[in-house]
Structures are given as C-alpha cells and as structure tokens.
Structure 1
Amino acid sequence: MGKDDAQICVIANPASGTVARNPDALTRAMEVFGTAAELRPFKGDPAKTAEAAAREGFKIIVAAGGDGTVAGVAHALAGTDAALAVLPLGTFNYFARGLAMPEDPALAAAAILQGAPHPIKVGTLNGRVFLNNVAIGLYPAILEEREAAYARWGRSRLLAHLASLRTILRFQKPHRMRLKLDDTEQLIRTPMLFVARSAYQLDQFGLNGGEAISDDRFALFLAPQQTRLGFLRLALRLISKRVDHGRDVMVATPARIEVQIPRRRRISVALDGEQLTMQLPLEIALAPDRLQVILPPQKAGQMGGSEAAV
C-alpha cells in the first residue's frame, strides 16, 4: 500500500490538456482527496504505473488525464480487483463525459469519493483495451496533424478541430481491406474505418449503434471512397448530427472484427485518441474480463445492475 495507507492512487499525465493549461486543476482535486490518495505522475505508458499500483493493493486507481491516459490505465486494471476512476483532465474527455463525471476537477474528485464501482465490458484491439473507439485511415492522420499542432501551439479543442480540417483538405488515400465481420468476409476500399464502443460518443455525433453496444457488439462505420469535398460534407453532417446512414457512412454491428490489408504488415491506428503502429491483422473483440469503473452517485443509480458499456 502507498504512503499513509492511502486507498486511492492518482496517476497523472502532466502533459494532458487541462493540466498543461491549468496546473492548479490537479492540485484542487488532490486537496479534495486529502490523505485518502497518493499522487503518481507518469511518463510514457500509464499502464505500467497502474499495474504497480494494483499490485501494491490500491482499491481505486484514478486516471487523471485524457482518454488516452484512461485507456492505458483501463488496460492494466481489466480483470483485477482494483477499480478505475476518471479525473477528466484531457482535451475531449469522452469516457468521463459518458460516465457523467463533473468536468470541474474538485467536483470530480468529490464524485469519485462518493461513487460506487460498476462492472463494464470493454473492447480490445489485438489484446489492448480500448474504451471509446478504434480507427484506421483518415482518423489516425488527423491525430498526427493534431499532435504536431499541439506541440507548436498548445492543446485546445479549437486547435484540434482546425487540425482535423487541415487533414481532411490534404488526405486522399483509401485502403483496400479484407474485413471479417463475425462469420462473413468482404473486400472493401475505404479511406476510413471507425469502430465504436462508446454509446455516448455515438450520441454526440448523431450516429446509430448505441443499442448494438448495449447488446455486447460494436458499431462499425465505413466511409465510402470520397473526394475532399465529400469529407468536408461528412464532417459538417457529423457536427450537425445529420449523418445519412447508408449514404454518408456504411454501418455494421458485429461482435468480432478482423481487418487485413494486402501486402501490409503494420498500420497506423488511432485508439482512444492515441496514435499507435500495430501489427496486422487487426483483431477487435470484447475483453474476456470485466473492468470495474467508479461511477458518480447519480450515474450509479441510473445504471442499476447493467454491465453494458457507457
């Protein structure tokens, strides 16, 4: 156990969006936790720090950062007795918002202290846990452009959107893929494959698939081969929640997905907002083990005994 027999370990990303803009945010949260929590900053992969904390016996491990930090901690905790809690200090915080976690750090810390653990099923990409989404094609290219902009100008949602626009205007490189969706196979040429495991994120963009996620499946979206103008139209329809399912995107709801790309061994992948290079084929499935997540009191009452993803 950590110093002073703390029951909570807070794993913080010093480079996360909110911490970089407002260093006092984490301080205010730690003041609310008091002696119940120990702070451990990390560099690189947060999973290593989370694994160590779980071995030491911490009951609650708080991922203080954005969706990438949360996914890394979740990867370490799935199937363990330790519960994941989220202190939303990133740029978009989709998973925390899906949990209805307050965005104010002090209020979020209070909600964690008053919350309750709840088991959920999470997705895996080649064995690595993800909570929101996995994508190949256009979206990883957007992340690469976004990180370059962050390094130069700092993190903000506006800058993220501008980087997305710049990528769309420059991107035109569809992939030829062999997809295995459950027991069916198909060949397809598409500039973007997007797999969702977050019903909340789908709702934010007016996309179908929330029921499939509750039914232990994924929502898979494929963009038809398009021009740059077509990409811009799709982006505008996503923002305004007016996507035409079937025309703008093709939708499937499989429980298992395998992606192969002829003559390629590795590919750039976006996983919960982090860009990774992964070995092909890509295998997407539900993790065999549940992840315990701390829900704020109001959300815990709504969820009841359900184990669906949030």
Structure 2
Amino acid sequence: MSVPLAPRSAPLFVVFNRASGRGDRDELGPAVEAACRAAGRVCELLPVEEPGRLADTAREAVRRASEAGGVVVAAGGDGTINCVAQAVLGSGCAFGVLPRGTFNYFARTHGIPAELDGALRVLLEERAVPVQVGFLNDRVFLVNASLGLYSQSLEDREVWKRQFGRSRVIAIGAVLATILRGHRSLGLTIESHGPPRKVRTPTVFVGNNALQMEQVGLPEAQAIDQGALAGVMLKPVGRWGLLKLLVRGAMGRLAEADQIVNFAFRRLTVRDRRFGARRVKVATDGEVLWMRLPLRFEVSPHRLMLIRPPGLAEERRQAQASLAEAESGR
C-alpha cells in the first residue's frame, strides 16, 4: 500500500513521556519548539505525565496529525516509541523519533542520532521511508519480542532501574541477577517452516532489529533487512552456561555457541505443549505484559513510514560483505 509522504512543511505532533528515558524532560520541549521555529515548522507538544495515559495521548496525536496532514513524533525510549508506533501504524501518518532512552536500538538501526540536535535535524530535513514492523498477536514490536528468561530479565531490569537509576551498567547487573537466581525451561511446540517441533528452551527471542543482531554476532541481521524476523532459542543450559553465553554475546560471537538455535522466518506460532492455552509473560520492546497462548510472531503487512536517512540497509549489507571478505582472507 502506498502512503503519501508528509511534506517538509507538515506540522509535528510530539508525544513525549516525562516518566521515561533521560533526565532532560524539562529541556526537551523548549529544544523542539526552538528547532521548529528556526525551520519555520509548526509543532504541538503532547506531554505525558502518567505512563497509563501514553496510549491515549498517542491516539490523540494520530487524530490531530491525520486532520492536519502532519507527522506524529515519539520522544522517549524504545517502550515509548513502541506505544506511539502502535497508534500510528496503518493510519497514513508519517512517524518521527527523538530517542531519549538507554539503548535506543530502534533509532540507532535507522540512523537517527541519540543527540537531540542531530535527531531534530533528521526529523526536520529527511523524508519518510517504509520500515518493517513485527507483530506479536495484536501487539507491535519494533526491536524485539520474547518470552521466558529474556522477558524475566527485562522485568528485573525495571525494578533495578527504579532503585538505582537508568544506565547500561544497571541493565547488565539486572541480567546477571536474573541468571544467577535460576530459571526453568519451557515445554513448547513451535510451528513455522515444515511440521510442528517440540522443544524445551529457557527463552524464545524474536528480533526485528538488525543492529541488535549484529552486536551479538548473529547472522540473521541480514535476513531482517530482507523482510524476515530473527528467531533465537536456547537449548536447556545451566547458570554457568548462560553466563558464558552472555560473555559470547558481549563479544559479538553468539553464533559460535552450540547452545544457540537461530533461524529466520516471516510467521511463527508458539504453543504450550503440556497445558494447552494459558497466559504467559512476554515482552515487546522492553515492556512486559501477559498474553494468552498461542503466540503468533509475524511480519506486519503494514510498513511504518519513518522519517530517517535513506539507504541504511544497503550500507549495512555492504559493511557485512566487506567484513566477511576480510575474515575469509585471514
């Protein structure tokens, strides 16, 4: 489906979550207004004081942008961006991002700078291009979705953040605590290519972010650029085995681990093989919630019209090809 591109003069409707991301909530609004004023652009700020109001505010931004031929902008971390994208997808509105989170995987993989000035330049100067979106049942995910151990580590990370603040060191510490506390394997039936498979695994992880896959050394990054999702499962492994996998991932060598099962797909169904339909804890872009099985991961038929620099997937493929050639020549 072709979506008209918003002109560079289109008004901006900026949703920003004051409860998320960095401690610059009072500076963001004035900075956005100043940049828009200098560019001759109209902008309207829609701050969110309570996290429970984020979805309603995002829908209101989409309504106003639809009426005005404008752009909906999400300012915050990956969770905030996910929530606003959920409202924008399929609306016909262009989507902009001002990353204010800890990791900012979605923005980084699409070439949007973490610095506010750089992100504003992209927002005000670039055009919208279609980007891939994942679905977990009826929920959008832009970076990843998961169940099992990875989801639990994200929930623990939020507890640590509330106690100790937001940083990458805190996030890594929470993951270590989750691993050392112990875990159980899930008995699942996986349906994708071919007949259903019965598996036991501590976690199912589905990625829609090439940068995240590249950082841990998984080859499915290229598959994401070509329209697929990246599936990752762990074979049953103990605590020390998980710690070794964590180290491999930090070194960008996860694909070398025998305990990793990784594959690309466009549609994947996960069922509980023992208890039938039941609720499980899942995570989408860092936000933890409960869903009823079966879980269906798939590439959305709709694309998100994201304002970003063009040609990034091709640049990434060329970089991967150059790296592979260099390694083969050693």
Task: Settle same-fold status: TM greater than 0.5.
Answer: yes
Same amino acid, percent of matched pairs: 36
Q: Which residue of 1 aligns with 2:44?
A: 38
Letter aligned with residue 209 of structure 1: E
The equivalent of 1:286 in structure 2 is 299
Asked whether 1:139 is paired with 2:129, we answer no
Q: Which of the numbers 73, 78, 87 marks the counterpart of 2:84? A: 73
Task: Select the structure of larger CA radius of gyration.
Answer: 2
Give the counterpart of 1:276 among 269, 272, 289. 289
Does the 8 A contact of 2:225 with 2:313 survive in 1? no
Q: Distance in 1 between matches of 2:174 and 2:53?
A: 25
Match of 2:181 among 166, 170, 178: 170
Measured in 1, the distance between the counterparts of 2:161 and 2:209 equals: 25
Superposition deviation, residue 74 in structure 1: 1.2
Aligned-residue offset at 1:6: 7.5
- 1:184 deviation in Å? 2.6
Q: Do the aligned partners of residues 303 and 175 (structure 1) sit closer, same or farther apart at CA in structure 2, a change above 3 Å counting? A: closer
Instruction: Assess, with a 3 A threshold, how the Cα gap between structure 1 residues 27 and 170 changes in structure 2: closer, same or farther.
Output: farther
What 5-or-longer segments of structure 2 have no aligned partner? 1-8, 315-330
**Alpha-carbon displacement from aligned partner over 1:50-105 (angstroms, at most 9, x marks no partner):** 22222223521111001111111111111222111110101111000111111111
Deviation at 1:206, TM superposition (A): 1.4
| Shift in Å, 1:219 | 1.1
Counterpart AA for 2:285:
D
How far apart are residue 47 of structure 1 and its match? 3.4
Mapped contact 2:237–2:259 kept (Cα < 8 A): no
**Counterparts of 1:78 and 1:148, CA distance in 2:** 30
Q: Secondary structure at the match of 1:29?
A: helix
Letter in 2 for 1:37: C
Which position in structure 1 is the counterpart of 2:16?
12
In 2, distance between residues paired with 1:67 and 1:45? 17
For residues 122 and 266 of structure 2, what CA distance do their matches in structure 1 show? 33
> Cα 1:231–1:114, aligned 2, differ >3 Å: closer, same or farther?
same
The separation in 2 between residues aligned to 1:229 and 1:216, in whole angstroms, is 35
| 1:114 maps to 2:120 | no
Aligned partner of residue 300 in structure 1, secondary structure: coil
Partner of 1:308: none
The residue correspondences of 1:120-269 to structure 2 (distance < 5 A) are 120-245=131-256, 247-261=258-272, 262-263=274-275, 265-269=278-282
**CA deviation string 1:245-280 (max 9, x = no partner):** 461311121211001113251111011111111111
Amino acid at match of 1:282: L
1:22 offset after TM fit, Å? Answer: 6.2
- Per-residue deviation, 1:31: 2.3
- Seen in structure 2, the aligned counterparts of structure 1 residues 45 and 207 have a Cα distance that, compared at 3 Å, is farther
Query: Shift in Å at residue 288 of structure 1?
Result: 1.9
Q: CA deviation at 1:170?
A: 0.9
User: Which residue of the partner structure matches residue 116 of structure 2?
Assistant: 105
**SS of residue paired to 1:136:** strand
1-structure distance, mates of 2:53, 2:270:
25
Compute the displacement of 1:211 (Å): 2.4
CA–CA separation in structure 2 for the residues paired with 1:38 and 1:21: 18
For residues 298 and 183 of structure 2, the distance between their equivalents in structure 1, rounded to whole angstroms, comes to: 29
Give, as a single letter, the amino acid of the residue that structure 2 aligns with 1:38: E
Q: 1:87 corresponds to which residue?
A: 98
Aligned to 1:54: 62
- Structure 2 vs 1, CA of residues 22 and 60 (structure 1 numbering), >3 Å: closer, same or farther? closer
Task: Give the letter aligned to residue 253 of structure 1.
Answer: A
Residues 201 and 45 (structure 1 numbering): CA distance in 2 closer, same or farther, change over 3 Å?
farther
Instruction: State the TM-score, normalized to the length of structure 1.
Output: 0.90
Deviations 1:275-294 (A, max 9, x none): 11111110111212221100
Q: CA deviation at 1:191?
A: 0.3
Q: Give the whole-Å Cα distance in 1 for the aligned partners of 2:225 and 2:284.
A: 20
SS at match of 2:180: helix
User: Once structures 1 and 2 are overlaid, which stretch shifts more, 259-268 or 221-230?
Assistant: 259-268
